[in-house]
Amino acid sequence: MPKSCHADIPRVNYSAAMDAWDDPRLTDVGLLLEAHAGLIAVLSRVHARHGLAGSDFDTLLRLARSPGRALRMTDLAAQLGLSTSGTTRIVDRLEGRGLARRKATAADRRSWTVVLTATGERTLRDDVPELLTAIQRAVIDPLPPERYAALVAGLRQLRDALRPDATIGS
């Protein structure tokens, strides 16, 4: 169909505003949101093969990285960037599946310490290699090494500038 068939359609008068809706700052932010959504889809697909949600995996990983494979509930919540009640629910799930367990915290009877179980560590050990493969294939391989490096450097500086940690308490 030739374009002439639309040529006579009366123009709407809000075209000046349209520029604001397409401001590059808006579209740049959109890029990060879309990249994030795509990345989450890739990661979730891997985790799902091990019966894990993304937040379950994050929790297991935080525990695995901590001294003694353990963290107090409050510290875990801070690392996850979640509320303490949300963390309570995640740990409930993990404990129900035997991937983590609560034990009393020495010297503070108000607190619980969450410990990664052997089963939890095994689950993580099964998941991580698949995850690394997926990351390699989906995000690293498609980008020229130097561009990938620039992306990571930019993300690091952005993360530091945004200080998500500082906003958690707000």
Residues near DNA (CB under 7 A): 53-55, 72-75, 77, 82-93, 102, 105, 108-113
Our CB check for a copy of itself shows the closer of 40 and 104 to be: 40
**Residue 102: in which H helix or E strand, if any?**
strand 100-104
**What are the helix and strand counts (H, E) for the chain?**
9, 3
- What letter represents residue 136's amino acid? Q
Question: Residue from 5, 106, 107, 161 that binds a copy of itself (CB under 8 A)?
Answer: 161
Question: Residue from 49, 51, 53, 65 that binds a copy of itself (CB under 8 A)?
Answer: 65
Question: Residue from 3, 4, 21, 96 that binds a copy of itself (CB under 8 A)?
Answer: 21
Our CB check for a copy of itself shows the closer of 13 and 109 to be: 13
109 binds, among a copy of itself, DNA, none (CB under 5 to 8 A by kind): DNA
- Tell me how crowded residue 76 is: count the other CB atoms within 10 A of its CB: 24
Question: Residue from 48, 53, 104, 151 that binds a copy of itself (CB under 8 A)?
Answer: 151
The token pair that represents 141 in the structure block: 């391989």
d(C-alpha 62, C-alpha 55), whole Å: 10
Question: Residue from 29, 48, 53, 104 that binds a copy of itself (CB under 8 A)?
Answer: 29
- What letter represents residue 102's amino acid? R
132 binds, among DNA, a copy of itself, none (CB under 5 to 8 A by kind): a copy of itself
Nearest distance from C-beta of residue 6 to a copy of itself, angstroms = 10
Question: Quick one: which of 32, 35, 99, 108 has its CA closest to 61?
Answer: 99
Question: Quick one: which of 103, 120, 108, 119 has its CA closest to 62?
Answer: 120
